[in-house]
A and B are shown apart, each in its own frame.
Chain A
Amino acid sequence: MLRRKFNLKISISFLLITVLSIPAFAQGWDVPEAQKSKNSNVVFDAGATKEGESVFTKNCVSCHGNPGKGNFMKTLTPPPPDLAGDKTHNLTDGELFYILNTGRGVMPSFKNILSETDRWKAIAFIRSFHKGYVQVVSKTDPEKSKLVKINVSFDEKSNKVTVDVKANEKTGVVALKETEVSLFAKRRFGNLQIEKSGRTDANGVISFNFPKELPGDKEGNVELIVKISNEAYGEVESQSKMKLGIPTDVPSLTKERSMFNVMKKAPWWILITYFSGISIVIGFFIYMLLNLKKLFDLGKK
């Protein structure tokens, strides 16, 4: 059942991608005003540009190619623009940031993949190709994010995870209302988002229904990741470990001897077969060499 739903989702999104992407090609980016004017706390200096390059190489080059080189993946619809181009140049920092956060069609959303600083650094790298660009650094205080306190609690009865977001201002503790909160459970190959992202209420609180059947570690612990994003305080992430999964003891796949394991853990039978084969071969060659020696000695007489 689960798989069906999953497939359906994929098919629908593919359908949407194909249907939407064609008109989207000609479309500009519809970025909300508030986002448009957003600026970076990260200063786009040589250091940020350099780190941004490595972020870009890992995450973006496969589609966009190297800026200015025109080696983007031309088979995609719409084709990913060469980011050194004028079109990108004319977008504001806020727009670029928004595009990275939300994505569109084939362009993935990087909000939950890259940290906020890394996203800005990638933009710093893109900007290094735009002649005449001058950065306007954000007036918001980056130190403010350090004041944020995220409190995560779990209620077993209702199976709800509650996130409480506060800030320790000098004037006292303030609840961060209208703050976007996303909850993830850490899995072996990535983070599983729990429900959809939501916004905190007037008390800075939001609850998520936690699935009952999620496997945890041996004790049932699951690592939770909470990401919040607030206009004034920026993005903050917190991690915590809680007993809210089903205790599961999955032995490591590479613990036992097996065909797919490393050589040291090869099955006995194959080790024995191989090395007895080798010994027989070596034995045979020694036997032949001894015989050749004997032949040589016979001729001396």
Chain B
Amino acid sequence: MDFSDSPEVAEFRADLRAWLAEHLAEHADGVSYDSAEGVEATHRWHRALAAAGYVAVSLDPRYGGRGLSDLYEAVINEELAAAAAPPPPPIGHIAHAVADFASDDLKGRVLPGLLGCTESWCQGFSEPGAGSDLAGLSTTAAATDGGFVVNGQKIWTSWAMWADRCLLLCRTEPDQPRHRGLSMLVVDMDTPGITRREITLANGSREFAEVFFDDVRVPAANLVGERGQGWKIAQHMLTYERGPADMGWTGRLGNVLAAAQEAVRSGRLPADDVLRRRLAAVAVDAQVLSWHVARSLVDRESADPGSSGSIDKLLTTRVEQELYHVVDDLLGAAVVVGDQRPFSEYLWSRAQSIYGGTQQIQRQIVAQRLLGLPRG
């Protein structure tokens, strides 16, 4: 048992810190999703990280990764958070799906842009009629000469407004049982027949869209894996998407917590005994979360994360949502009147129990797949 960094990890961490110390200010300016300039700055930041070798490091070097374990992805998330840098590009799960399932030809065509962050991607899974019940989706890709013709609609697709490509889960085998009828396609977002409509989030953020597909032609060579393999690939991706390390949340929550602790310590925010205890209680949970994440990451070096990612997601939800309750109560009236960033972060914390599979669905996965309880 050893929770400390191995010499290799320690060296990697030190290099990254040095790189951040030198380059953060120059590359991270103006990053946001709220305006065209912000998005452009975000892409610049991602390209700088990629050029320095800090994107998708867990991928095979053949595909542009560094062949490191997932632990290193977590180190990147932690160190960026600790340096108050913007997050890395959220592409680990997409990169793994493509690297693990796509043909060499497809990998050769799309991975350099994905990993180099010269092209941005979105994940087209959810539909108006298929959220929790993802396998019930109805966007179709009919096989034709040399490819597919896609028709349907995706919704709540993060970053779709400016994405160059979409990893699309769609139905290619209407005669097959639901789960077996799905396939995964890489779709170029500038293909004729694609229309995007922006959806503003409840906190005003503008990174969401609805995407319509109207007779969109996709070449057969853009099929990821085999026809009918879509569900399997999606499940594989979601285990990566669910892990808190993949999303970089633990480091960011740690920052929010540390800022709250500092505000109380310095007297900038008054806190009575009740608030001090609540802050301590959530700090306890956050600390345990970080140990738990470290353990999950090490487990992953030897086995596919499988359903245990749902435990990580549920634990993260618990910590994040309580943390924002405590932080908001420390701020008091300043949350409801004045600069709306704290309120908007609080609102965002409510999404943690929805995206990537809702809290109810995650609990069901834990109960049925991990505890082995019977299905209702």
A and B together in one complex: no
A contact residues vs B (CB 8 Å cutoff): none
B contact residues vs A (CB 8 Å cutoff): none
